[in-house]
Structure 1
Amino acid sequence: MINLMPGKTLMKFDRQLPFYNWLYPMKGQELDTVTHDEFHSGMRTEGVRSRALYFHIPFCDTICTFCTLNRGLGSTGDEQIETYVQALLKEIALKGRYAEATSIPIRAIFFGGGTPTTLTAGQITRIGQAVRDHFDLSQLQEFTFEAEVKSVTEEKCAAMRDIGVDKVRFGLQSFDPLYRELFNITATIEQEYAAVELFKRYFEHTSFDMIYGMHGQTFEQFSRDIEYATSLGTPTMELYPISNVVTQAPLHRSYEARGLKPLSFIDKMAMTIYLNQYMRASGFQQHNGHGYVRLPQGQRPTTPFISRDYLNLYNTHTWSYHDDELIGLGNSAISQVANYTVMNDENRVTYVKNLLENDDVKINITVGDGIPYERGVILHLPYFGWLDKSRIAWEHIPGELTDKLALLVSEGMLEEDEKEFRITELGWVWYANMMYYLSPASDQKVLDEFTALKRRTKGLTDGDDRMLPLLPMASAR
């Protein structure tokens, strides 16, 4: 349980969350009696503003120790990848039979994993053509493809560009040789730089991910990482505090072998505050909870605090309003439509077998208590930094939630006018805690239980998540 601590202090909550994003809503009843056909033929289209597509490619040349996403070893040209592509093409065609799933124009597409660039150029072309054959892309505004620099070639970049990709994002994570070794990152720094130059020739936009707050990391090491990152010249970058509770035990064994101790959550919060000042001084401004956009030469950071000149459109379908929906394809891919959260078969072998032999997909459905009209308040506001009041059906929003908003305004974490709520710089430090605080008790309970379960995992180590209660000077005498 995490509690708000009112008062004139930086420490607005008594603990920090050990992770930084999740799905909403998380509550519901597991249903194993609804088939793929029953669900997709019953999807609604009324009241839907837009949809995005997510494609999961669950193969990696090497397995990074900080990652626990659904993936396995696989390299370009492997037969198992071709078999998976055949199954994925079947799923695209299967969903294409349902007007309810395909009639809403697609606004954003994201290929994630795993490593989508383990696909061959020909496989990329075939999947891209199938997507165009079965979905309405007349309003497509963003097409993102995740990459790992070792598996990138000119031929693959050309294929990606030809199917409409305009944004490439890759995982750099750290420039520090120690942490690259601990993370099992096998690409060289020279390959990272070369990939950026290659991407610039083919795509409008390039971004990359960085992690900080690792066991034993010093501010000197952190500063060096930031400086190298800003020198890459990409328009944006994403910098995340590491979530130790969802990393792998081998990483923690390596920490222990080198005598690296976990940082406290106060240390990691100090790094986050330092990062924002460093990035501003380097010509960047924040555009969401952990993303930074490079400002034009000579332009200073704007007010309000979060930039609105750049937006990851795909993220607006994962952490946004109730009427922006997501359809996932591939094993373990998640869809969020209306009050349903749907996960495709998590087992790659049975996912492929069912599609190739039975033309079907096993799905797991969680149903919420109703349309999550409050999702924009709980996710979009803290993560993106503002909330358009006109997008919220306030008559469906519980009074408890509006009371919480009022308290966050009074505590200086939000500000409000007639048209919108906006996050303040103080509020941004606590954006993940704010998402937790705004969530109903049932979702908080799920998050609490998930955290407790992960912290019981053998071999994982994490820092103290307690925030020091700083007292006013008069009370401290």
Structure 2
Amino acid sequence: MLNSSPNKVSLTALPPLALYIHFPWCEKKCPYCDFNSHQIKERVSKGGFDEQRYINALIADLETELPNVWGRQVHSIFIGGGTPSLLSAEGMDQLLCAIRARVNLEPDTEITMEANPGSIEADKFAGFAKAGINRVSIGVQSFQDEQLKALGRIHNGDEAKRAIEIAMKHFKSVNLDLMYGLPKQTLKAAKADVETALSFKTPHLSFYNLTLEPNTYFANFPPQLPSDDEVDAIFEQNLDLLTKAGYQRYEVSAYAKKNQECKHNLNYWRFGDYIGIGAGAHGKISFPDKITRQVRERHPESYMQAMETKDNALIESREIPAKDLPFEFMLNALRLTNGVATNTFSERTGLPLSAISQGLLEASKKQLLDENPSQLKVTPLGLRYLNNLQEIFLD
């Protein structure tokens, strides 16, 4: 059990601020996906949805948040989904221009857009780059047609390769999202996926273990997945291949070449702030005396109607109780392989280090945390049993 934490939060400085924009539509809902995504059912416009209406709602949503972040600079933008690359290049340009007119962006702000291979076109991506997108994250998942079919993906391996080639021509940075532990996946097949990904020499790679999330098709109709031992063998193989290719594992599922880490995601793991706009978007905003979280209307239609008829689309806006902050901070920071400086805890939570001192002692005794007092850093054992480590800080 942790020491009792003070009831009062006192921040001497506000953390870095990012902007997350959620795009809720996709061409097909994947059976493993538990994100807030909705399959396009009607051809409202060329993109399959009312693009202008949604952009208007996003801009209005951002404006409702401006009083909470006056004077603060935005360090990164991440446009996730769904499939944001279904937007037109003109629509993306309109959205980013509206953002620049309303918030102070730091020079060379990292602006990431998620994309699926089936929605990548050369001319359209040239337009995205011109609009200001400088980083793309492509949801490849696998390069093997059989695996892609089992995952319910709408693209094939050749389309994935072509999409990467197009992205590499237009953007400063490209990330590939891949999965392992796929239905009936063998060690050999997993190795082929990694080697194909490495052949493109993208500066960033993400590897996620396929898990059966609640309220998904796979949760109700589970496919035949590799055993835990087989998944462990695949992971160790992946890690060895990536390390030899010069990628550093800097977060549980993220690997990057030197100085190519995703700034936006690092801000999450370091317990930074982020404005969240769009259907179902979550946000975290700090003030000198409190830290708040927000959630927007989840369904796209409900979200747009709320922005058109009310002052905001919030369904939840709450102050995080001081007693919950230690766990929330450690839940994020412990995902980083190099950890964070110990004083970051007080800087980002406004609480004294004594709030987690008992947990730090327990985790160190179990060899889950490094004993270096200046760094909150997981050991290799702690990374392997991350859930157990994080639970130590659950009050």
Q: TM-score, normalised by structure 1?
A: 0.72
2:377 partner amino acid: R
* Aligned 1:37-436 pairs, distance under 5 A: 47-74=13-40, 76-96=46-66, 98=67, 100-138=68-106, 141-246=109-214, 248-249=216-217, 253=221, 255=223, 260=224, 262-294=225-257, 309-321=259-271, 324-338=272-286, 339-370=291-322, 372=325, 375-393=328-346, 396-397=351-352, 399=354, 401-435=356-390
- Shift of the alpha carbon at 1:152? 2.0
Cα-Cα RMSD: 2.7
Identity across matched positions, percent: 20
- Shift of the alpha carbon at 1:398? 6.8
- Higher mean C-alpha displacement, 145-154 vs 412-421: 412-421
Asked if the contact 1:116/1:146 (under 8 Å) is kept, the reply is yes
Aligned CA distance change for structure 1 residues 333 and 383 (closer, same or farther; 3 Å): same
Q: 1:45, 1:328 → 2: CA distance?
A: 21
1:86 partner amino acid: N
1:312 partner amino acid: C
For the pair 1:439 / 2:393, whether they are aligned, the reply is yes
Asked if the contact 2:35/2:82 (under 8 Å) is kept, the reply is yes
Asked if the contact 2:143/2:156 (under 8 Å) is kept, the reply is no
- Shift of the alpha carbon at 1:158? 2.9
Q: 1:244, 1:400 → 2: CA distance?
A: 34
- Shift of the alpha carbon at 1:253? 3.5
Q: 1:256-291: per-residue Cα shift (whole Å, max 9, x none)?
A: xxxx3x444344334323321232233322121111
1:377 partner amino acid: M
Q: 2:330, 2:217 → 1: CA distance?
A: 35
Asked if the contact 2:339/2:376 (under 8 Å) is kept, the reply is yes
Partner of 2:325, secondary structure, is: coil
Q: 2:110, 2:55 → 1: CA distance?
A: 22
Aligned CA distance change for structure 1 residues 69 and 378 (closer, same or farther; 3 Å): closer
1:238 partner amino acid: S
Q: 1:171, 1:246 → 2: CA distance?
A: 21
Runs of 5+ in structure 2 lacking a partner? 1-9
Runs of 4+ in 1 over 6 A off after TM superposition: none
- Shift of the alpha carbon at 1:432? 4.0
Partner of 1:172, secondary structure, is: strand
- Higher mean C-alpha displacement, 164-173 vs 405-414: 405-414
Aligned CA distance change for structure 1 residues 423 and 251 (closer, same or farther; 3 Å): closer
Q: 1:115, 1:378 → 2: CA distance?
A: 27
2:303 partner amino acid: Y
Q: 1:333-358: per-residue Cα shift (whole Å, max 9, x none)?
A: 00012332210011211211122234
Q: 1:414-443: per-residue Cα shift (whole Å, max 9, x none)?
A: 3233532333333322234423x24314xx
Aligned CA distance change for structure 1 residues 432 and 175 (closer, same or farther; 3 Å): farther
Q: 1:383-402: per-residue Cα shift (whole Å, max 9, x none)?
A: 34312023222993575732
1:292 partner amino acid: Y
- Shift of the alpha carbon at 1:129? 0.6
Asked if the contact 2:143/2:160 (under 8 Å) is kept, the reply is no
Aligned CA distance change for structure 1 residues 214 and 188 (closer, same or farther; 3 Å): closer
Q: TM-score, normalised by structure 2?
A: 0.85
Aligned CA distance change for structure 1 residues 244 and 79 (closer, same or farther; 3 Å): closer
1:439 partner amino acid: F
Q: 1:247, 1:232 → 2: CA distance?
A: 35
Partner of 2:336, secondary structure, is: helix
Q: 1:362, 1:104 → 2: CA distance?
A: 22
Q: 1:223, 1:419 → 2: CA distance?
A: 38
1:403 partner amino acid: Q
Q: 1:123, 1:84 → 2: CA distance?
A: 10
- Shift of the alpha carbon at 1:168? 0.4
2:285 partner amino acid: V
